[in-house]
Amino acid sequence: MKVILVLAPSWGIETPHLGIALLSAALRKRDFEVKVFDFNLRVHNLHKEQGLWRGEEDLRWEDDQDVAKFINENNELLDLFVHELLSVDARVIGFSVYNTTYKLSLELSRRIKKLDSNKLIIFGGQRCFPSPAAEGLINNDAVDAVVVGEGEETLVELISKIDKLKRVEFCPGVVCKKNGKIIDCGMRPAIANIDRLPFPDFSDFCLQDYGNSRQLPILSSRGCAYACVFCSTKLFWANFRLMSGARIFREIDYQLGRYPGVSFFTFNDHVINADMRSLSDFCDLILEAKLNRQQDNPAWGQLIWRGAAVIREEMDSFFMRKMRSAGCVELEYGIESASLEIRRLMHKPPYDLDVLGRVINDTHNAGIDARVNFMFGFPGETEEDFQQTLDFLKKNQSAFSQVHASETFCHIDPGTYLSAHLSQLGVSKKRFHPLYWESEDGKNTYPKRLHRHQEFCRLAVSLNIPLSSGGHKIMLYKDHFLKKYEEYLSSQKY
């Protein structure tokens, strides 16, 4: 049986989509034929000059008016995509659905159903869980089933039932329709031992078409061991699970052997150092391979990798040098604020500024780039709190390889702890908007957060600290973002 997997705009274009590669591997392990269509990349290559794939533009892909305009301007292209999908003799077409891909995935699904109602459309991905979100998706006539949560086991079982019974049938982890009624089949338990998952299959992707043809993504854990109040991770990954260092090593070994030219891996984990033993074991195995296996495969000598990490006291200069020797070239730290009070409100690990600064400097001194993220205007942040962040930037200026100033300053994602405790944190519920929210006392507003963002970015530039592209764009087009905010205010009914 053939299965099509589709990625619609908008998503990243630096590397192939890891989720689809994981599903491809799981399906092929059960002898299903898989065909992948990365329409996101193809649309990007036609419209990349418009800058719609920058992080600060994500909300445009969720806006009805902006998406309707895009559809109208690309009507023939979308029809072409649909005909390509229908030209493949596959009963099932699955879409990887996120907030930024949802609307175009649904548009393509409607066009598919209009031409061939017998095609079975399955949605899965981050937009599809928890279950209430899935029930909202299944209400669309063009969607036959929604996979809730991890897809490797659920999708394989669902496809197996479709292959045998020629219809969508009850399957744990799925929300579907039967005789016009919505059936919630209940959550499937999380995959307990992720060491047993097959290695991602990127064979349907042309690696040369992506931003870095030497690079592949890797996921060595599910969820996050921490619980920052602004993060939506817990909505999707309730339980934190991670691979052993040996399993991570085997996957890299496999990919290096299968894809000549690849030597750079990006860990898509929320944090790679939640288990220091696993990370240390992984580094030891890499060091051994670099020493003993370069003659068999020169890629071992060129191997480099990067990932996101949390500040931990154990990340000392010795461990940093070990990571660098094992190929680590960049660590991304979510500092967010140098105010200990704000970090406490965020539920960040309770380290003082000396530890924060020491770890970042040890990272830099080991030869690893330290890319550090900051937020602005978190509920309760005072001028004094913000000044502490500016002072921290100045004190450690030589250690930053880049600072990422959040383009949304402090976006309050629906479903997060933060969104459920607005009053407790002094956020007004009146006319609440995830981006344009304001504090009950009126002191924390979007323009105020924008001002702090600008002040932070100007200081970074004056200190010759590299600034993320999103920060530069907001500095250049501040008036544009203020205008969008004013348009929002004028659209509200008072």
d(CA 220, CA 342): 30
| CA–CA dist 208, 216 (Å, integer) | 11
Query: What is the bridge-based pairing of β-strands 221-222 and 304-309?
Result: unpaired
Cα(172)–Cα(459) distance, rounded to whole angstroms? 52
Cα separation of 139 and 62, whole Å? 18
Distance of CA 71 to the CA centre of its chain: 24
Q: What is the mean pLDDT of the chain?
A: 92
pLDDT attached to residue 99: 87
Q: Which helix (H) or strand (E) element contains residue 179?
A: none
Count the helices and strands in the chain (H runs, E runs). Answer: 19, 15
CB-side neighbour CA atoms (13 Å) of 186: 4
Delimiting residues of CATH 3.80.30.20 domain(s) in the chain: 194-491
Distance CA 320, CA 240 (A): 24
Question: Tens digits of per-residue pLDDT, 194-251?
Answer: 999 999 999 999 999 998 889 999 999 998 899 899 998 877 777 899 999 999 999 9
Asked whether the bond before 10 is cis by omega within 30 degrees of 0, the reply is yes
Walking along the chain (494 residues) 10 residues at a time, the average pLDDT comes out as 95 93 97 96 82 69 87 94 95 94 95 96 87 78 93 96 92 90 90 95 94 94 92 81 96 95 95 96 95 81 95 95 98 97 94 95 98 97 97 97 94 90 93 93 96 96 90 82 88 67
Q: What is the pLDDT of residue 126?
A: 85
For the chain, give every residue range classified as CATH 3.40.50.280: 2-184
Q: CA-CA distance, 29 to 21, in Å (whole number)?
A: 12
SS3 253: helix
CB 62 within 8 A of CB 97: no
- SS3 call for 221: strand
What pLDDT is stored for residue 51 in this prediction?
66
> Of all helices (H) and strands (E), which one includes residue 183?
strand 181-184
* CATH number corresponding to 2-184: 3.40.50.280
Identify the three-state secondary structure at position 283: helix
Q: How far apart are CA 242 and CA 211, in angstroms?
A: 28
Of 10, 5, 9, nearest to 21 by C-alpha is 5
Residue 383 is encoded by which pair of tokens? 């001028």
CATH of domain 194-491: 3.80.30.20
* Integer Cα distance of 435 and 56 in angstroms: 12
